Amino acid sequence: MAVLLGLASALVYGAADFLGGVQARRSGALAVVVWSQLAGLALLLAALPLLSPSPPQPSDLGWGALGGLGGGAGVALLYRGLSIGRMSVVAPVTAAGAAVIPVLVGVGFGERPSLPALVGVALALAAIVGVSSGVQAEPPATGAGAATATAPTRQWWRRPGVAEAIGAGLGFALFFVCLDRASAGAGLWPLLGARTSVLVAWLAAVASRAPLRPAPGTYPNVAAVGAVDMLANLLYLLAARAGLLSLVAVLVSLYPVSTVVLARIVLAERLTRGQLVSLGAAAGGVALIAAG
């Protein structure tokens, strides 16, 4: 069950990131983050009475709040990266950081995945990196700017959005670890605590003087981003309670697969042979994790 929930969470996270990245290009990253997080909060408040009948424990709210600080910063950085860079680069770089740290933390807490599962983790992590490093280079420039335009394509880590992706990966890793530390009977209360992400985004917008009003006509789309993101959070919370952090976090971090596929279908971003091989490696890693 943990494998299925983790994969479902990855699929939904990838869709949320794609939608958020598209909207960030129209309205600005912080505006999308603030309003989408508020939309997710409204959905969560409607679900709390049904799925969290017990009163919240301070520790569960605390873990959620700490995770929300990382998650809020991660979402803001990710949407910023997606809005200025290639989705097929930014999403996998973020996912690599979001996967590696929880694996180390889980093992440090005493988790001992089986050998096939560990091989699957290694294969999945390699696939996440491969999806990024195999990205098709931009078409070479012509004319006077050709000499300077071709050099950055050989160094993907210097491309626009990659620095934001690295920071986002660290933020998401904190979010994954903190939600995993909440008690099994906490219901949805940790997700309510995690809405500190709204405060993080609002403070970032105030500090940078970024506009907080989405572009006209985009409010329904931004709200949809928040709803999809909240669903992904719920699926991750359920997966973390059903399985090991060191395995679930890796499965969830495969979300760039759906982001990259959507970018290919909707935005016509090209996939190289290396990316296709990496997607196959991701499938193999999932199979090994499930078998273990």
> Does some domain include residue 230?
yes
pLDDT of residue 12: 93
> Does some domain include residue 144?
no
Question: In the predicted model, is pLDDT for residue 103 greater than 90?
Answer: no
Angle of helix 2-27 relative to helix 273-291, nearest 10 degrees, comes to: 150
CA distances (Å), origin 92, targets 134, 256, 285: 11, 5, 16
Count structural domains, the chain. 1
The domain of 250 spans: 6-137+153-291
Token pair for 139: 């078409």
Average pLDDT over residues 22-45: 87
pLDDT of residue 291: 66
> Does some domain include residue 174?
yes
> Does some domain include residue 203?
yes
The whole-angstrom distance between residue 32's C-alpha and the CA centroid of its chain comes to 15
CA distances (Å), origin 283, targets 62, 127, 143, 180, 192: 35, 9, 42, 24, 33
**Going by C-beta distance under 8 Å and a sequence separation of 6 or more, which residues neighbour residue 275?**
88, 130, 131, 134, 135, 136, 260
State the Cα angle at 106 between 280 and 15, rounded to 5°.
Answer: 45
> Does some domain include residue 147?
no
pLDDT of residue 160: 77
> Does some domain include residue 142?
no
* Rounded distance between C-alpha atoms, residue 93 and residue 9, angstroms: 18
Average pLDDT over residues 42-53: 85
Within 13 Å, how many C-alpha atoms sit on residue 186's CB side?
A: 26
8-state DSSP, 7: H
Confidence of residue 60 (pLDDT cuts 50, 70, 90): very high
pLDDT one-digit tens code per residue, 109-136: 888 888 888 888 888 777 776 765 544 4
Compute how many other C-beta atoms are within 10 angstroms of the C-beta atom of residue 25.
Answer: 15
**Going by C-beta distance under 8 Å and a sequence separation of 6 or more, which residues neighbour residue 36?**
20, 23, 222, 223, 225, 226, 229
In degrees and rounded to multiples of 5, residue 86 shows phi and psi of -80, 130
> Does some domain include residue 118?
yes
Question: In the predicted model, is pLDDT for residue 143 greater than 50?
Answer: no
pLDDT of residue 142: 42
> Does some domain include residue 148?
no
Confidence of residue 140 (pLDDT cuts 50, 70, 90): very low
Instruction: Using the Cα atoms of residue 239, residue 244, residue 247 and residue 249 in order, give the sign of their dihedral.
Output: positive
